C-alpha cells in the first residue's frame, strides 16, 4: 500500500503531486497542384470506393456473367466493331431505311441491337435491388442508348412495314435522314472503351481539369481581340485595307483571330496592311506577339502543367490501387481471426511474402525500413504497442512512409504530438516504476496546464483541504479534485479544512436580507475580533454592500485578503471583464448546493484513515478522544477509532443535509458570527462552529479541524500515553495533519511507535534563513509519501530540495547549546535546523 498526502495549506503552484495531467472561404484556383491532388487521392482511397458490383446479387447466373472479365472484354470488342461498322455503313449504305437496305446492313443492325439489348438485360438482372440501377451512371447511359437503338431498329421499322413505303412516317423521316443522326449517338458508347485505356483517360481528365484555365485564357484572348479590333477599325478607316479587313469591330475581331492569332497566310496580310499604313503594321506585330506568341503559349504551358498534374495523380491512384489490391490478397491469406484488421505479427508475416515486398518497392516504400517502423506503426496510439489497425488505416500510415514524400506542416505537427505522447508515457512509466527519482520523487507527475489528472495504479491520494484562497485558480483546483474523485472514488480522499467550512456562511451573510438587517454600525462581526477589526471600522460607510462585506470576511475572518482579486483574475481568463458583483456571485454559488465547494464537502470527511495512517486537517482534540461537539457535555466514554470516525461522518452529513433542505425558519435576531453558530437557525451552523478554535466562553473547542499538535507558542505538544494507546488499538501508527504552519518544511515528531507529521508550510515566506539569499513562498512545496519507506520531500523557501525519511533517528531531535534547534530533515547533504518564536521561524543548514 502506498499513500500520499499533500496538505491543503501549501501553495498548489509547482506542487509535486501523485498525479499526471494529460493534455486538451477561399476562391477556386486556376492552377492545380499535383501534391495536393495526390493527397486528395490518398484521402479518397482511405474511404470505400464506388463499385457497381456492390449492388449486384451475391449468387446467381446473371451476377456471375455481369462480373465476368470475359463478358466485359466481349462487350468492348462489340463496341469497337460497331464503331468501325458505322464508317462502312456511312460510306456504302444509301438506303433511307432499314427495310430498303441491303441484307448485310440489315443483319449488322439486328446483331448490334440484339447484343446491346441482351447485355443491358444481363446487367439489369444482376442488380439485387432494381431501384439501384438509377444510381449507376453507366447503366443509365446505356439504357438511353439501348432505348434509342431499339426504337430506331425495331419500332420504327415495324411502323414503316405496317404503314407501307408510302406512309407518312417514310415520307417524313426517310428524306430528312433523322434516323441516321440518331446513329451517331452510338459512338458515345466508345466512352466505355476509354476506361480500359488509362492513357486516353488521363488525356481526357486533363482536358476536363484544364477547363477553368482555358476559359480564363480565352477571356484574355477575347479582351485582346476586342481592344485591338476597336483600334484597327478606327486607324484603318477610309483606306482600302480598312474596308477589306477592318470594316467594323466584329469583322476586325474575325480578321485578327484568323491572321494574327491562327497566323493564316500572315505574310500576305502584313503586306496588304503595310502598303497603306505603317502604324497599322506595327500594331499587327504587337498583336501577334501578345496573342499568338504569349497568350496561346501560355495556354499550351497551362495545358502541359495540368496534364502533368493529372498524370501524376492517375499514376498515384493506379499505384496505390495496385499495392492495395495485392496486399489485401495477401492479408486475406494471413488474417487468422478474419476480422479485417492487421496486428503486428500479421504485418511481419506479410513482409515475408515476396509478392507483398515487391508491391511495397513499386509504391516507393523500402520493405527493410518498414520492419524498423513496425513499432511506430502499431504502437503510436497504444501504450502497450499492441494496436490492431484496420486495413484502410494501415494503408494510410504505410503511404506516409514512401521515400519520395515531402515533409509538410501537418507532418511536423504529427511529429510533435507523437514525441509529446511518447514523453508523457515515459514520465508515467518513470513515475510508476521509479518513485524515488530525484528531484521530484513522484508517485506520479503533474505537468500543469489544462487537462485531466491521473493517479498511479498502486497509490492512494489524500488531499488535506484548504488549498483555495492562495492562488488565482481555486475553481480549477476544485474541478480537478472532483474529477479525480469520480475517476478513482475508492483511492482518492478529501479532508475538510477550516477555510472549506467557513465559506458555508457566505450565501447567508452576503444576502441582501442579511446586509439590510445589520447596518454597519450594528454589525457585531465575529466574537474573536478586536474592536478595530469589526465591520463598522473596516467597511466604508458608503460600501454597505455584498462586495465590501465579502472582502471583509475574506481578509478578517479567513486570513485571505487577496482572495477576492485572485478570484476576479481567474474569472477574467475567459476574456470578459468581471465586476465585483460577478466575483461575489462566484463565491456564493460555489458554497451553495450544486456548487463546486459544496460538492467537495459532500465527498470529503472530517478525518480519513488509510491503511495505518490517520489524516486530519488540524489535530486530535486536547480534551479527550471521544467525539463530541464542544457544546455537548462529555459522556465519559472513549469511543473506538472506527466509531469515532463514523460519528464525525454522521455529524457532517446531518449538517449538510440541513443546508440541502432548509426549513422555513424566521430571520435570526442576531448574526451567526455573534453567537459563533450556537443554537443558530442558519442551516449548517453547527458544522461551521466546529471549525472554530474556541467556544464563546473562551474554552477550547475539541475540534480536529482547528486543533493541532503545536501549542500556543508553536512548540510541539506531548502525545500522552492514552492517546497513543487509542491510536494503536485503532491500527494507526502515523498521524498526518496540517493547519498550523511550521516554517518552510514539515515538522516530524516521533512518540515511541507513533509518528506525527505536520505538513503546513503556508507561511514559508516568513522564514528567515541564516546566510541564505532572498526567500520566496512560491518556491516552497512539500509532499508526504507513505509506504514501505515513508518520507517527506519538497523544496524549501530558498528553492533548495529537501528530504526527510521517517526512519531517520535524528528527525525531531534538538541540537545546539540551548537545545533550541530542531532537526527537520536534510538538504544538500546537511541537516535542516529550525527554531521559532511563535510564528517567527529561523532556519539554517548544518
Highest mean pLDDT among 365-379, 629-643, 757-771, 820-834: 820-834
Per the prediction, the chain carries an average pLDDT of 75
DSSP H helices in 93-210: 103-126, 137-150, 156-163, 168-174, 178-183, 190-194, 198-209
CA distance 386 to 405: 27
Percentage of residues in the chain having pLDDT higher than 70: 72
CB 284 within 8 A of CB 293: no
CB 23 within 8 A of CB 449: yes
Side-chain-side CA neighbours of 346 within 13 Å: the count stands at: 24
CA distance 117 to 151: 12
The residues with which 56 forms a beta bridge, in sequence order, are 127
Q: What is the mean pLDDT of residues 428-439?
A: 47
Q: What is the mean pLDDT of residues 326-341?
A: 70
Cα torsion for 210, 216, 218, 224, to the nearest 10°? -150
Grid coordinates representing 56 are: 449486384
Nearby residues of 114 by Cβ (< 8 Å), 6 or more positions away: none
Q: What pLDDT does residue 735 have?
A: 87
pLDDT of residue 119 exceeding 60, the answer is yes
Ranges 151-160, 294-303, 330-339, 384-393: which has the least confidence: 384-393
Q: Which DSSP symbol is given to 467?
A: -
Q: What is the mean pLDDT of residues 50-71?
A: 86
Nearby residues of 91 by Cβ (< 8 Å), 6 or more positions away: none
What's the Cα-to-Cα distance from 544 to each of 511, 518, 525, 548, 555, rounded to whole Å? 12, 10, 14, 7, 16
CB 73 within 8 A of CB 81: no
Q: Which DSSP symbol is given to 27?
A: P
pLDDT interval class at 809 (50, 70, 90): confident
- At residue 50, the 3 state secondary structure works out as coil
Q: What pLDDT does residue 521 have?
A: 61
Q: What pLDDT does residue 156 have?
A: 75
What's the Cα-to-Cα distance from 703 to each of 384, 509, 628, 708, rounded to whole Å? 49, 23, 9, 9
- pLDDT tens sequence across 176-211: 455 555 666 666 777 777 666 777 777 777 888 888
Which of 809, 645, 786, 814 shows the shortest CA–CA distance to 715?
814
Q: What pLDDT does residue 524 have?
A: 61
Exposed/middle/buried for residue 332 (C-beta within 10 Å: 0-12, 13-18, 19+)? exposed
DSSP H helices in 68-136: 69-92, 103-126
Q: What pLDDT does residue 248 have?
A: 94
CB 235 within 8 A of CB 280: yes
- At residue 686, the 3 state secondary structure works out as helix
- At residue 504, the 3 state secondary structure works out as helix
Stretch (H or E) spanning 655: helix 641-660
Side-chain-side CA neighbours of 820 within 13 Å: the count stands at: 10
Q: Which DSSP symbol is given to 361?
A: H
The residue with greater pLDDT, 136 or 365, is: 136
Predicted TM-score (pTM) of this structure: 0.51
CB 814 within 8 A of CB 803: no
Q: What pLDDT does residue 357 have?
A: 76
Q: What pLDDT does residue 820 have?
A: 78
Highest mean pLDDT among 374-378, 525-529, 585-589: 585-589
Q: What is the mean pLDDT of residues 459-488?
A: 80
- pLDDT tens sequence across 792-801: 877 777 777 8
Return the residue matching grid coordinates 479544512. 497
Q: What pLDDT does residue 11 have?
A: 32
The residues with which 249 forms a beta bridge, in sequence order, are none
pLDDT interval class at 518 (50, 70, 90): low
Q: What pLDDT does residue 387 have?
A: 61
Exposed/middle/buried for residue 716 (C-beta within 10 Å: 0-12, 13-18, 19+)? middle
Q: What is the mean pLDDT of residues 120-148?
A: 87
Grid coordinates representing 13 are: 503552484
Is the alpha carbon torsion for 380, 385, 391, 397 positive or negative? positive
CA distance 209 to 275: 45
CA distance 658 to 667: 16
CA distance 518 to 353: 89
pLDDT interval class at 652 (50, 70, 90): confident
- At residue 317, the 3 state secondary structure works out as helix
Longest Cα pair distance anywhere in the chain, in angstroms?
Answer: 142
pLDDT interval class at 663 (50, 70, 90): low
pLDDT of residue 808 exceeding 70, the answer is yes
pLDDT of residue 342 exceeding 60, the answer is yes
β-bridge pairing 452-455 and 459-463: unpaired
CB 291 within 8 A of CB 221: yes
Q: What pLDDT does residue 773 have?
A: 46
Grid coordinates representing 401 are: 512512409
CB 527 within 8 A of CB 701: no
Q: What is the mean pLDDT of residues 714-723?
A: 77
β-bridge pairing 2-6 and 781-786: antiparallel
Exposed/middle/buried for residue 624 (C-beta within 10 Å: 0-12, 13-18, 19+)? middle
Cis omega (within 30 of 0) for bond into 223: no
- pLDDT tens sequence across 286-316: 999 999 999 999 988 888 888 888 877 777 7
The residue with greater pLDDT, 469 or 169, is: 469
CA distance 441 to 434: 8
Q: What pLDDT does residue 246 have?
A: 93
Nearby residues of 154 by Cβ (< 8 Å), 6 or more positions away: 113
pLDDT of residue 431 exceeding 60, the answer is no
pLDDT interval class at 226 (50, 70, 90): very high
- pLDDT tens sequence across 621-631: 655 545 455 55
In the chain the domains, ranked by start, together with CATH numbers, are 2-24+422-493 (no CATH), 56-196 (1.20.120), 498-690 (no CATH), 721-845 (no CATH)
CB 837 within 8 A of CB 743: no
The residue with greater pLDDT, 600 or 1, is: 600
Grid coordinates representing 421 are: 505522447
pLDDT interval class at 245 (50, 70, 90): very high
pLDDT of residue 525 exceeding 60, the answer is yes
pLDDT of residue 352 exceeding 60, the answer is yes
Cα torsion for 259, 265, 267, 270, to the nearest 10°? -30
Q: What pLDDT does residue 54 have?
A: 81
Ranges 377-381, 443-447, 567-571, 735-739: which has the least confidence: 443-447
CB 326 within 8 A of CB 355: yes
CA distance 746 to 757: 7
pLDDT of residue 330 exceeding 80, the answer is no
CB 543 within 8 A of CB 533: no
DSSP-assigned letters across all residues of 409-425: HHHHHHHHHHHHHHHHH
Q: What pLDDT does residue 407 have?
A: 77
CA distance 197 to 111: 26
Residues in the chain: 846
CB 544 within 8 A of CB 521: no
The residue with greater pLDDT, 711 or 733, is: 733
Q: What pLDDT does residue 61 have?
A: 92
β-bridge pairing 613-616 and 607-610: antiparallel
Amino acid at each position: 500500500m502506498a499513500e500520499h498526502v499533500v496538505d491543503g495549506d501549501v501553495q498548489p503552484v509547482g506542487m509535486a503531486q501523485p498525479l499526471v495531467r494529460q493534455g486538451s472561404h477561399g476562391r477556386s484556383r486556376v492552377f492545380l497542384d499535383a501534391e495536393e491532388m495526390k493527397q486528395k487521392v490518398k484521402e479518397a482511397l482511405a474511404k470505400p470506393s464506388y463499385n457497381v458490383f456492390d449492388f449486384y446479387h451475391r449468387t446467381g447466373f446473371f451476377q456471375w456473367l455481369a462480373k465476368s472479365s470475359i463478358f466485359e472484354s466481349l462487350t468492348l470488342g462489340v463496341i469497337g466493331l460497331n464503331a468501325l461498322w458505322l464508317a462502312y455503313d456511312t460510306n456504302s449504305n444509301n438506303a433511307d431505311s432499314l427495310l430498303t437496305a441491303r441484307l448485310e446492313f440489315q443483319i449488322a443492325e439486328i446483331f448490334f441491337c440484339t447484343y446491346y439489348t441482351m447485355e443491358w438485360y444481363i446487367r439489369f438482372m444482376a442488380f439485387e435491388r432494381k431501384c439501384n440501377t438509377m444510381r449507376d451512371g453507366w447503366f443509365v447511359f446505356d439504357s438511353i442508348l439501348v432505348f434509342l437503338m431499339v426504337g430506331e431498329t425495331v419500332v420504327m421499322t415495324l411502323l414503316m412495314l405496317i404503314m407501307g413505303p408510302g406512309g407518312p412516317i417514310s415520307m417524313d423521316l426517310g428524306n430528312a435522314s433523322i434516323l441516321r443522326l440518331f446513329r451517331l449517338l452510338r459512338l458515345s458508347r466508345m466512352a466505355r472503351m476509354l476506361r480500359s485505356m488509362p492513357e486516353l483517360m488521363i488525356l481526357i481528365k486533363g482536358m476536363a481539369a484544364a477547363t477553368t484555365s482555358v476559359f480564363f485564357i480565352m477571356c484574355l484572348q477575347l479582351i485582346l481581340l476586342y481592344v485591338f479590333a476597336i483600334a484597327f477599325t478606327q486607324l484603318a478607316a477610309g483606306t482600302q485595307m480598312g474596308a477589306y479587313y477592318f470594316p467594323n469591330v466584329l469583322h476586325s475581331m474575325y480578321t485578327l483571330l484568323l491572321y494574327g492569332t491562327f497566323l493564316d497566310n500572315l505574310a500576305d496580310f502584313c503586306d496588304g496592311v503595310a502598303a497603306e499604313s505603317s502604324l497599322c503594321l506595327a500594331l499587327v506585330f504587337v498583336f501577334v506577339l501578345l496573342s499568338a506568341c504569349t497568350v496561346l503559349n501560355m495556354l499550351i504551358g497551362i495545358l502541359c502543367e495540368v496534364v502533368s498534374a493529372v498524370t501524376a495523380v492517375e499514376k498515384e491512384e493506379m499505384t496505390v490501387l495496385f499495392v492495395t489490391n495485392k496486399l489485401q490478397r495477401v492479408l486475406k491469406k494471413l488474417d487468422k481471426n478474419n476480422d479485417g484488421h492487421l496486428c503486428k505479427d500479421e504485418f511481419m508475416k506479410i513482409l515475408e511474402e515476396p509478392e507483398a515486398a515487391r508491391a511495397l518497392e513499386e509504391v516507393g516504400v523500402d520493405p527493410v525500413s518498414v520492419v524498423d517502423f513496425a513499432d511506430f506503426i502499431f504502437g503510436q496510439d497504444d501504450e502497450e504497442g499492441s494496436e490492431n489497425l484496420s486495413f484502410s488505416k494501415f494503408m494510410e500510415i504505410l503511404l506516409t512512409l514512401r521515400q519520395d514524400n515531402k515533409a509538410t506542416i501537418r507532418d511536423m505537427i504529427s511529429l510533435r504530438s507523437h514525441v509529446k505522447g511518447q514523453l508523457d508515457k515515459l514520465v508515467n512509466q518513470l513515475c510508476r516504476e521509479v518513485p524515488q527519482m530525484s528531484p521530484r520523487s513522484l508517485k506520479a507527475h503533474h505537468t500543469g496546464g489544462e487537462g485531466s489528472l491521473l493517479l498511479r495504479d498502486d497509490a492512494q491520494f489524500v488531499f488535506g483541504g484548504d488549498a483555495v484562497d492562495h492562488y488565482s485558480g481555486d475553481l480549477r483546483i476544485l474541478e480537478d479534485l472532483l474529477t479525480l474523485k469520480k475517476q478513482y472514488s475508492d483511492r482518492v480522499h478529501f479532508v475538510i479544512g477550516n477555510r472549506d467550512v467557513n465559506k458555508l456562511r457566505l450565501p447567508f451573510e452576503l444576502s441582501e436580507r442579511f446586509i439590510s438587517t445589520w447596518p454597519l454600525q450594528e454589525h457585531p462581526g465575529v466574537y474573536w475580533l478586536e474592536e478595530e477589526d469589526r465591520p463598522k471600522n473596516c467597511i466604508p460607510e458608503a460600501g454597505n454592500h455584498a462586495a465590501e462585506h465579502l472582502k471583509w470576511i475574506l481578509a478578517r475572518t479567513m486570513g485571505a485578503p487577496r482572495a477576492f482579486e485572485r478570484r476576479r483574475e481567474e474569472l477574467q481568463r475567459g476574456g470578459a471583464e468581471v465586476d465585483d458583483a460577478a466575483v461575489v456571485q462566484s463565491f456564493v454559488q460555489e458554497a451553495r448546493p450544486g456548487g463546486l465547494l459544496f460538492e467537495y464537502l459532500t465527498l470529503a470527511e472530517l478525518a480519513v484513515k488509510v491503511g495505518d495512517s490517520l489524516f486530519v486537517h488540524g489535530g486530535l482534540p486536547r480534551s479527550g478522544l471521544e467525539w463530541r461537539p464542544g457544546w455537548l457535555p462529555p459522556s465519559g466514554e472513549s469511543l473506538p477509532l472506527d466509531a469515532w470516525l463514523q460519528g464525525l461522518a454522521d455529524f457532517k452529513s446531518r449538517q449538510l443535509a440541513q443546508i440541502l433542505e432548509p426549513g422555513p425558519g424566521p430571520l435570526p435576531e442576531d448574526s451567526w458570527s455573534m453567537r459563533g453558530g450556537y443554537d443558530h437557525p442558519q442551516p449548517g451552523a453547527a458544522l461551521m462552529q466546529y471549525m472554530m478554535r474556541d467556544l464563546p466562553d473562551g474554552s477550547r473547542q475539541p475540534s480536529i479541524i482547528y486543533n493541532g499538535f503545536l501549542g500556543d507558542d508553536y512548540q510541539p505538544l506531548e502525545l500522552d500515553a492514552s492517546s497513543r494507546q487509542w491510536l494503536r488499538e485503532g491500527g494507526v501508527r502515523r498521524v498526518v495533519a496540517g493547519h498550523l504552519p511550521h516554517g518552510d518544511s514539515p515538522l516530524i515528531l516521533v512518540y515511541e511507535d507513533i509518528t506525527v507529521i505536520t505538513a503546513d508550510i503556508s507561511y514559508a515566506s516568513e522564514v528567515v534563513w541564516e546566510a541564505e539569499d532572498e526567500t520566496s513562498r512560491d518556491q516552497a512545496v512539500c509532499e508526504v509519501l507513505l509506504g514501505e519507506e515513508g518520507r517527506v520531500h519538497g523544496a524549501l523557501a530558498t528553492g533548495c530540495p529537501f528530504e526527510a525519511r521517517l526512519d531517520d533517528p535524528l528527525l525531531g531531535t534538538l541540537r545546539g547549546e540551548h537545545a533550541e534547534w530542531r532537526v527537520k530533515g536534510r538538504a544538500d547533504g546537511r541537516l535542516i535546523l529550525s527554531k521559532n518564536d511563535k510564528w517567527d521561524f529561523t532556519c539554517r543548514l548544518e
